[in-house]
Structure 1
Amino acid sequence: MRIRKFAGYRPLNWSNNQYFTQWRGNMAYKFEEILQQLQRELQAGKYPVGSRFPSANELALRFNINRTTANKISLVLLNNGILRRTGSTRAGLTVADPASAEPVIKIALIGSITHSFFAKIASGFFAAAAKNNVLVMPFNPEFKQLDSLLRKLENSGFKGIGTYSFGKLDTTLPVIYLEPDELDPPLPSVAGDTRQGGHKIIEAIKNAGHKEIAFCFADVFSDPRSARIQGMTEAALQAGWHDVEKRIFWYHRGGNSALRVLREMITAYPGLTAIATDSDDRVFQLIRAGKQLGVPIPEKITPFGFGNVEQIHHIFHFPTIEQHPFDVGVCGCETLLELIRSGNSASEKSIKIDVELLNV
């Protein structure tokens, strides 16, 4: 099944890139810590029933976080029935009366928000939940705690789970997988059509007249079923690069892998003019390596990425595949609710969302 992207997408705002490394490490901890603190304050009566709750700007200033994160925290409290809207979005939120709260479906979202791509998925998931009067509780457990969390969810009134980056979940609850690796056997999932994206990248490379190209893929995508890699290698073979396997250079996490990969590329292909990668993160790593080696990326060697990661494109301009993660989150939540209503009968439902190549 295929759907087009949802209307009304609004990209998240990001602060200075120089703080990105620190942000990735601290954001998930801050989110949960601040949410718990506000819940304690509400329970203690710091904000009386009917009183105005602090705005996203006020929360951002108080806790030294960005406005996007503050909005997510308010949305969790809203979905939990602790806050309520008094009118338009601009009117803000007030503290709800617990006695008047209507029962809502309770679902979980398991995954980290420490990367902008997954933060957008979570934003879409929360937005769809709010529209459907559904309570979403976010969780980001360590892998060793995952089984324990799943048992608690099964015994705590949760009706379903949305998840990304945790693989297949061993649970009796309905699950929707968001942007998963290829699942075998097929399971309910929503994802951008990265195979289509791979074809679009090679088509753009060919149309731009590039002859000497290389590929940089991370070992996390090394599964031969990886849709984005399949799309690029299929299209490259069709376009005439019959030695495509030799042109693939594998990036391994940690160390100076980007430096090693770039050295190997320019040694093997001195006339290199384009690099197709599996993500914008990979492009960013190659750009940094290029600055150390004196290799002009993206000025003379054009990189192609996946994800349209905003804090990277705020600084560097290069072609990328827009995977519409917000739409993935929206569709994922709505599909999960369908699974819950149907008793999980649509157990192989897989939805692909069209992707676009930007910045060509």
Structure 2
Amino acid sequence: MTGVSLSPPRAARVPSVRMPHWDNARFLAVTLVVIGHGIQRLTYDSNYALALYLFIYAFHMPAFAIISGYFSKPGPPSALQMRRVLTDILLPYFIMEAIWALVKFFAEGETDLNPSKPSWTLWFLLALGIFRLILPYLALLRWPLAWAVIGSIGVGYFDNVDSTFSLSRAIGILPFFVLGWKLREWGVIERWQTATRSVWLYRGLAVTVFAGWLAIILSNIDLWRTIDLRFWFFYDDSYQGLGESQWFAGGVRLGLIVLAVILSAAFFSLVPRRHTWITDAGQATMYVYLLHSFVLYPLRESGLLQDERASAMWLLSLVLASIGVALVLSAPIVKKIFHHIIEPKPRWFFAPLPDDSAPPAKKP
């Protein structure tokens, strides 16, 4: 949360033939986003809701960042690629921020329009832009993944690096984006696509990993609630802001990064590699990501999801409803209606592209 796109910006898309595995992964990941946002208010009163929330948030946005990094190029962008970053990331961001400003004005009387503070889900759009800006420079260094991890851990020690333009969060999850890029360079996914005999072994291991993580969450749920573990998974606040000012607080983030990588690997290994009934929906993850918050906003703000309604039945109902929301928003009719908002193409806004095919001018 293109990867938001969750699909990466089209400037970064490399393969001409879509791989069903990635479209399946995109849709499943964005569905986890919708579920996480849908049950968030239940986490205050329900341990089961909090457990599911922690289970999802430990890896779903890192997985999106990995997908985005996999489809990103490390070289300097061309003029066409830079234009597409503007149309695929920045223009949708400002359009959606303006719409959110109107929603907040009519619903809450709030008049504070501040594009530097992303509304709800929009932080990931800015993070994608930051990733594209940073990657060509990281690619010039030795051990870019190690530097990204150091940056993620180090930024937590600075209180003055905050959520303005999503900077703290972008740097926090940068290692996953770089990891995705390196996975393509290492050819890991290509080998997985052609694997046969070892597939079910890895998938069995993945199920074991997820079951173990869920068991750890459930057996220590009171501890996780006490220390507000969920806020650590946002990769947003400084360690001081999270209530941990000790010098070793960065070690906690390092542990969470390792955990997210393990869980993301388990997630990707369980994603179907062939074309399925959700594959086509995986091509519309940007629509699901940007529009689902408008569906959930009235429900979240109504107070219907707290106190006596924080039951297991409500939790199950919200999970199923969230899956339904993701499916509906990925439908072709939604793309047709909201295409000009989510994927604007204002040709009049840009200067003509340089003619790269023209021969270079001769020196006098």
Q: Same-fold call, TM > 0.5?
A: no
Rg (Cα) greater in structure: 1
Whose RCO is larger (CA < 8 A, sep 6+)? Answer: 2
Structure with a larger share of its residues in helix: 2
Provide the TM-score with structure 2 as the length reference: 0.25
